[in-house]
Amino acid sequence: MLGRNRFLILLVVGGVTLAVISLSLQFLNLIPSAPTEKRPPQGADGWDGAILAKSRKRVFPETHPPGPNSVGDPYSYCNTPNRSEQAWEGHSPADYKLLSVQVMIRHGDRYPLYAIPKTRRPAIDCTLSPSRNPSHPLLASFISHMGLGGRANWEAPLHSIPRIPNHSSCEMGELTQTGVVQHLHNGQLLRQAYSHHGILPSDWSPRQLGIETTSRSRTVQSGLAFLYGFMPDFDWGRVNVRHQWSTLFCGSACDCPARNRYLEEEQRRQYRLRVNDGELEKTYADMARTVGVLARQLRAANPIDSLLCHLCHGLSFPCASPGDGSAGKCLTMEQFAVIRRQQRNDELDRGRAGHYHKYAILAMYPYLNQTATKMERASRDGARREEVFSLASGHDITISPLLSALGLKDESFPRFAARVVFELWRSPPAKAKQGDRSKGKGRPLFIRILYNGEDVTFHTAFCRSHDRHAGQPLCPLENFLSFVRRDMFSAVNATSYQEACSRR
C-alpha cells in the first residue's frame, strides 16, 4: 500500500511542480531588505517568487503551467543530477576570441531551512559518499582535495566554514550530496565548453581567478564543487576566496534607501493580495489542522520549503505525528493546487505593479556595474593579468533580481544550482570595419548572457531590439555598458544609481 501511495504521489506531482518552484513571497517573506549591518541577512535563502513561472528554455518544455492532474517533469526545480543537458556556453562565430567569463550561481540542493511542527524531519544523510547516488566521477577526488583547502587564502569569516557537508543527519540549510554533485556537473560542463578557448592558461595567477561567496556553508561548498568541476585538482596556493556579506553582492555600494521603499511596496502588495484570497486562507487552515498546529504556526514554519525537500528526494509528504489527534493525515497535492492558482494571480499582479522590477534594478546595479568594469579591464591591451574568470556563489534571492534587472521576465524561478554566465568576446581582425571605435585595436567587443546553458542575450532589455542579422551576430558590449551606466535607471525615473537611491 505504501508503494502504491508513493506511485500515485509521483504521478500527480507534475501538476503542481511549478506551484512549488515559484511560490510567492507572501508565503515566505524572504526577499532581503537592504542590509543595514555588514552581516548576511537572516533567512538568506528564502523564496521570493520573483520570476514568472512561464519559461521558454529547452530544459523547461512546458509553456504554460500544467493542471493539478497533469503528468509533467517534477524535477525542473530539483535539477536532478546526471541527466543530459544542452550547454551553449563557449559557442560563437568562427575565430571570435573569448576574453573573459563571469559566472553567478545559486547553491545546490539543500536541506530545508525550516521544520514543519509535529511532523518528522526528512531523513537525509549530508555526508559525502561516492558509492551513494547521486554520485559523480569526480566526487571521490573532490572529497580528498577539499582536505587541502587550508592552503588557500580565505577572507574572514570563510576560513572557519567546513569545505564539504559533514553531518549524517542533515542540519537546517545544509548542502546535500545532491547539491555537491550538481555543481561538480556545472563546473565540468563549463570546463568542456571553454577547454579550447584557453580562458585560464596553465600558469594562471591568483589575479586572473576571482571567487566570492556569502558566508553560508551551502554557498561556500557549492562554489568549491563548481571550481573543482571546472579545474580538477586546482592549486590551492593560488586561490583567494573573497567574502561577500550581502546576498545582493553589492559590496561597498549597498546603501540605497529607495531600494528599501520599492521592496516595502512589493511586500504590501503581496500581503493585500493574499489576505483577500479566502480559498487560500482556508487551505492554509486545512494544512494546519492536518498536522495539528495553529495556522500562524504553520506559516511561520514555511511548509513549502520542507515539502520541496520531500519532493526532490522522492520522499512522501509529511503526516501528523503518531499519537497526535491528527495521526495518519498527510499534506496533499490538492492543497498545492490552490497555492499555485494564487501564485499565478500574484505573478500577473506583480508584473502590473512593477515594484519588484524597480527593486531588482537598484539591488543588482552594483553587481552589474562590477561585471561591466571587469569586462572593460579584460578587453584592454596587455590585460593578461586581469581577472578573466569570476565565480560568485549566491542564493535564489541573488539570481532572481539579477534576471529581473536584465529584463529576463520570462525566465523560470531559479532552480537549485542555477547559473548565469556573462561572456566577453572580441571579433577577429577581418570582422573589424573601418572607423569602428570599439575598444581593442578597433576590433568590436560583444557580450553573451546564458542562463542554465541557454543563450538569452537577445531577450535582455539591452539587446532585445538588436538586429542580430545585420552583420553583427552577437550583442555589442556597448549596449550592455550603456544599459548598466545609464539606461536601466529609466525604469525608476533616474539617470544614475546615486540619483535613483536618494530620490524620495
Same domain, 378 and 326: no
Same domain, 246 and 319: no
Same domain, 343 and 359: no
Contacts of 184 (CB under 8 A, 6+ apart): 136, 138, 139, 142, 225, 226, 228, 229
Q: Is the pLDDT of residue 50 over 80?
A: no
User: Which residues constitute the domain of residue 165?
Assistant: 86-253+355-429+441-502
Written as nine digits, the cell of 81 is 543530477
Q: Once rounded to an integer, what is the mean pLDDT over residues 399-411?
A: 91
Last residue of a domain, one of 298, 332, 353: 353
Q: How many CB atoms lie within 10 A of CB 287?
A: 22
Contacts of 485 (CB under 8 A, 6+ apart): 369, 372
Query: How many residues does the structure list for the chain?
Result: 504
Q: How far is CA 180 from CA 147, 152, 154, 409, 486, in A?
A: 15, 20, 20, 29, 39
Same domain, 372 and 410: yes
Same domain, 341 and 417: no
Same domain, 127 and 158: yes
Cβ atoms 44, 275 nearer than 8 A: no
- The number of distinct structural domains making up the chain is 2
Peptide bond into 157 cis (omega under 30): yes
Q: Is the pLDDT of residue 174 over 90?
A: yes
Same domain, 337 and 390: no
How many Cα neighbours within 13 Å face the side chain of 78? 23
User: What CATH code is carried by the domain that includes residue 156?
Assistant: 3.40.50.1240
Same domain, 342 and 418: no
Q: Which residues are catalytic?
A: 107, 396
> What does the pLDDT read at residue 336?
74
Answer yes or no: is 287 within a domain.
Answer: yes
Its pTM stands at 0.85
Same domain, 317 and 363: no
Same domain, 307 and 390: no
Q: Once rounded to an integer, what is the mean pLDDT over residues 336-343?
A: 76
Answer yes or no: is 435 within a domain.
Answer: no
**Higher pLDDT pick, 294 / 351:** 294
Q: Is the pLDDT of residue 64 over 80?
A: no
Same domain, 207 and 124: yes
Question: What is the per-residue pLDDT across 216-261, written as a single tens digit (0 to 9) for each?
Answer: 999 999 999 999 999 999 999 999 999 999 999 999 999 999 999 9
Answer yes or no: is 50 within a domain.
Answer: no
Q: Percent of the chain having pLDDT more than 90?
A: 62
Answer yes or no: is 48 within a domain.
Answer: no
Find which of 219-233, 338-352, 463-477 is predicted with most confidence, using mean pLDDT. Answer: 219-233
Same domain, 360 and 472: yes
